[in-house]
Amino acid sequence: MVTLTPLAVEQMTDLLREQNDEELKIRLFVQAARGNEVAYGMGFDNEVADDDLVFQVEGISFVVDPDSLPFVEGSEIDFVDALMGRGFTMTNPNYQPMSSGCGCGSDSCGCGHHH
């Protein structure tokens, strides 16, 4: 489904532990898709719809809606700590992302354009 780099696993595990909610999952979704351009999103979620897909990678629970699934499948999630900022990146060899950066704050995770 998706692969996680060791650093991404470490960071996600820490973020989930800080939330102190055993039911919490990480929702992966597509914010926008036009042609080959895809903008990914990521956030905490403890609600799962009937048609959501729930899966585990490295002990971390993920949830994906059916519309986002084709874009998410085969993705790699990494964590970067660079001069331009730190956060998660999600790349899929099948699609070119409009924005490759995702950031997590104390309350939420999200992907979007860096300003």
**Domains of the chain as residue ranges with CATH:** 2-111 (2.60.300.12)
Q: pLDDT class for 2, splitting at 50, 70, 90?
A: very high
With a CB cutoff of 8 Å and minimum separation 6, the contacts of 23 are 46
* pLDDT, tens digit (0-9, with 9 covering 90-100), for 85-111: 899 999 887 665 444 455 554 444 555
- Read off the pTM: 0.77
**pLDDT value at residue 34:** 72
- 82 forms beta bridges with 85
**pLDDT value at residue 46:** 92
Query: In a 10 Å sphere around its CB, with 0-12 CB exposed, 13-18 middle and 19+ buried, how is residue 106 labelled?
Result: exposed
